[in-house]
Amino acid sequence: MYLIIDNTKNLAKAYMTPMLINVVNKFFVQCRVLSDWDEVDEVICNSDQYRIEGIILSGGPLCLSKDSISKTNKNIRILEHFKNIPILGICFGFQVMSYYYGGKIKSMGREKNEISRIKVLEKGSQSRLFNHEKNMVVIQSHKDNVITCPKGFVVTSIDPNDGVIQSIESYKLKRYGVQFHPEGLQHSEVIIKNFIKICKQSYI
């Protein structure tokens, strides 16, 4: 089973996260969406009863540069408890993960909502998420940026225009993160597909 930690304010009215759920289902894996603290707490307390292979922290409207870190507690709790399970952070989930492991977040002073191109770095050629994928067109929708990569992680892609971090990976920690929304475009869904492969290999 895969867990999707929903960081939207209202999943029924959200745009990207329902797309994320559909993409995960497309790859024929069972997923459970956790939208509030009680659901997260129940899964953690009974985690031995579940066959959890991987976890995704979704995007959402909160901004770490403005909102209290206490609002991200369900994400932090997941990161702390499931240390041996691969976790993928997307957009806001990526920022929470980066912050938790010591990265720095900064407000852009505006909302970036566009289709853009990311540059896969040379180290990204060894990336498990990109798996030798070259530069990729992706959907961006966020107000904060990760400006410092957390210790123990490798930056695998950047924005070629301003050098802003677009993805990080830590094989040792089993943590992966992307600033963009891989669920937003059909060709970028390969990121989620590759993450599922990572999880299956890790679970064996």
What residues act catalytically? 91, 181, 183
> Mean pLDDT, the chain, as a whole number?
89
Share of the chain above pLDDT 90, in %: 64
80-119, pLDDT tens digit by residue? 999 999 999 999 999 999 999 999 998 877 878 789 999 9
Going by C-beta distance under 8 Å and a sequence separation of 6 or more, which residues neighbour residue 16? 58, 59, 91, 139, 141, 181, 183, 184
Kindly list the domain boundaries of the chain, sorted by start residue: 2-203
Q: How far apart are CA 30 and CA 146, in angstroms?
A: 31
pLDDT at 203: 64
- Report the DSSP pairing between strands 175-178 and 154-158: unpaired
CATH dotted code for 2-203: 3.40.50.880
pLDDT at 28: 82
For residues 175-204, give the mean pLDDT. Answer: 91
Strand order in the sheet with 31-34: 31-34, 2-5, 54-57, 87-90, 175-178, 165-170, 154-158, 104-120, 136-148
